[in-house]
Amino acid sequence: MTKRCKPPLLWLTQLFIGILPPSRFFPLKARLLSMSGVDIHATARLYSSVRIVTSGHLAIGADTFIGHQVLIGGGDASISIGSHCDIAPRVTILSGSHEIAVAGPKSAGKGNSKPIVIEDGVWIGAGSLILGGVRIGQRSVIGAGSVVVRDIPPHCVAVGSPCRAIRSIAVETGA
């Protein structure tokens, strides 16, 4: 069975983490989040201001850094952040949304949630928005302020709103 976040315990954990120094006690933060249902590697480093608001499965890989005021969640779909990723300040990773209501007084209809996969080695620039149903390929770079609404291939630089690949990153062949 897949480990799922426990929202009430996660909320209390983040309340405690929020009083810790922002860029210290990374192993303690990882351990506390693990006890709250987050599948997090012990070497992951999260700023104290990171907010996790999900009841789904959340996995954070080894040696991943998540910066100041990052928001992760917004639904019950799984979110997977690979190893060796760098997520800059004020990034929003949002798996939840709503269908458009065709009847009734509101435009926001029934809620839905789609999984997000951020593969190993990805760098996401400050202020970017990652929406549900996307996969960001291994070792890609997402430019600051980008809005990712569709899959991004591996080994590329992608920017804009909507985000699109603008160039490839040469992969070392070892030769």
Catalytic positions:
98
**Spacing of C-alpha 123 from chain mean position:** 11
Q: Is the bond preceding residue 162 a cis peptide, omega within 30 degrees? A: yes
Contact between 66 and 17 under an 8 Å Cβ cutoff? The reply is: no
Residue type, 12: L
- The tokens describing 151, both together, are 């899959």
Phi, psi angle pair for 120, to nearest 5°: -60, 140
Strand partners, 147: 129
